[in-house]
Amino acid sequence: MTDFIFANHGSICLLTPVSDDAKAWIDLHVLDGNDEVQMWGGGVTIEPRYVWPILEGIADAGMTVAL
């Protein structure tokens, strides 16, 4: 089982946490104190320029992402 599902829609990307650990990671590293985050369909919308640092943080945490 994967922790996140990632979808690239060109001008916007969607990162959806699937596991409980992924939801906790999103809460701590993306949502905490950030009132500009947009959620859509249970996932976090991300501008493409921010994707790689977020995916690297997920990998550093030992979690997986499915494309």
Helix (H) or strand (E) holding 39, with range, is strand 39-40
What does the pLDDT read at residue 57?
97
Q: 3-class SS at 58?
A: helix
What does the pLDDT read at residue 28?
95
β 65-66/4-8 pair status = parallel
Q: With 0.85 as the threshold, say if the pTM is over it.
A: yes
What does the pLDDT read at residue 53?
95
What does the pLDDT read at residue 43?
97
Domain ranges of the chain: 4-66
Q: Which residues of the chain, if any, have pLDDT below 50?
A: none
What does the pLDDT read at residue 9?
95
What does the pLDDT read at residue 32?
87
Give the Cα separation of 43 and 15 in Å (integer): 5
Give the Cα separation of 15 and 8 in Å (integer): 9
